[in-house]
Amino acid sequence: MSKLTYPASAYSTLFVEDRPMVDLRAPIEFSKGAFPCSNNLPLMTDRERELVGTCYKQQGPDAALALGHQLVNGTTKQQRVDAWLGFLAANPDALIYCFRGGQRSQISQQWIKAAGLEVAYIEGGYKAMRQHLIEVIDQTPQRQPMLVLSGITGSGKTDFLLQRPEAVDLEGAANHRGSSFGKKTTPQPTQINFENQLAVSLLKQQQRSPELLLLEDESYLIGRNALPKDFYMGMQQANVIVLEASFEQRIQRLRYEYVDRMLNDFVARDGEQAGLNAFVDYLHQSINSIRKRLGHQNADELIAMIDTAIDEQLQRNNLQLHLEWIGMLLTKYYDPMYEYQLAKKSERVIFRGDQQALNQWLDQRQLQA
C-alpha cells in the first residue's frame, strides 16, 4: 500500500499557505471541528461509520475493516472516489487526512492511486494537527510581545486593526462584534473552529510581524466563543494603547454597523419583510440583553426610540432618529462601562490618540524594532 505522507513537522507551513485539504472523516466529526481550508468528502457516512464502530467493538478490527469494504463498494465507492478526484483536479496541491492519519487515510489514498492520481495524506491526521494549533495559541504569549488596543465603543477599533500587519482580528475569528449588539446574521463558529481559525491567524501574523502582536481589548467571551485561558491571561498582562474618536464619529459609525449594515444583511438573508422583522428583533434583543444593567426605564425608552426611528426610516427614508437612540445608549451604558473598565487597567496604558496618531506611533515602533 502506498504511503506518500505530509510530515507533522510542516504543519505550520500547511496552514500558513492555506493548502486545500480533504477531510475524510464522517460529517458528524467534521461538524464538531475542522480547519479553515478543509473540505469534507468523507470515506464513510455517519451511519456507515457507526456500523463499523459497533462491529469493531463487538468483533474486532478485521471484521470492522471487512464491513467497511462491504458498505463502501461498487457504485458507492466509485461516487466517493469521483468526488475526491474532482476536488484534486481542481486543487492539485491538496492533501487528505482522517482522524489519526491511519486506516481511512491509507485506504482512500490507495483507491485514489488506483484511479490514476498520487496524493499525500497528513501524518497524525486531524488529532495531531488540532493539538499543534492548540499549542500555537498557548505558546503565543511567551513567543511574542502582546499589545492590546482599547477604545470607547464606536471608536473604530476593528477597522483600525484590519489596516495593521501586527494585528489579529479576534472578533473576525468569532464572527461577532463582542458586544450586546455584536450578533451577525451568520452563526458563530463552534468553539473548536474558533480556536482553529485563531491559531491559523496567529501563524500567519507571526510570519508578517514576529516582533509584536496587536489585539483588540476583549472580554473572555466573544459572543459564545471563549478565548483560550492562557492566551486571555497574556492579554490581561499586556500594555494597552487607546484609540480615541469624537462622539459624532462614533454614533455615525455605530449607525452604519447596527442599522445600515445589519438591515442590509438581514434582508439579503431573509427577504425584505422577514429581514425587516429579524432586524427589529435583533435591535430589541440587544437592548433586552442588557436590560438589568441599563435599568428597565432606560431599556423601555430605548426600545420606543428604536421603533420610532425605524418607522421614520421606512416612511421618510430618514435615518437621523437612529443617531438619537445610539447616542443615549452610549451615554447611559457603553461610555460609563468603558471608563470603569479602562480605569482598572490605567497603569498599563502607554499611548493614546486618534487613528493617525496610533498609526504613526506603531510605525515608529516597528522601525525601532
Active-site annotation, residues:
98
User: Using CA atoms, how far apart are residues 313 and 284, in angstroms rounded to an integer?
Assistant: 16
Distance separating the N- and C-terminal Cα atoms of the chain: 51
The pair phi, psi for residue 175, each rounded to 5°, is 50, 50
Q: Which residue has the cell 506611533?
A: 361
Q: Which three cell numbers stand for residue 201?
A: 491567524
Q: Which three cell numbers stand for residue 41?
A: 468528502
Give, as one character, the DSSP assignment of residue 267: H
The pair phi, psi for residue 21, each rounded to 5°, is -135, 145
Q: Which three cell numbers stand for residue 191?
A: 468553539
Q: Which three cell numbers stand for residue 24?
A: 475524510
User: Using CA atoms, how far apart are residues 101 and 204, in angstroms rounded to an integer?
Assistant: 25
Q: Which three cell numbers stand for residue 249?
A: 464619529
Give, as one character, the DSSP assignment of residue 79: H
Give, as one character, the DSSP assignment of residue 10: G
Pairing between strand 225-226 and 221-222? antiparallel
What is the edge-to-edge ordering of all strands in the sheet holding 21-23?
Answer: 5-6, 121-122, 95-97, 21-23, 38-40
Q: Which three cell numbers stand for residue 320?
A: 437621523
Beta strand ranges found along the chain (DSSP E): 5-6, 21-23, 38-40, 95-97, 121-122, 146-151, 213-216, 221-222, 225-226, 239-243, 349-353
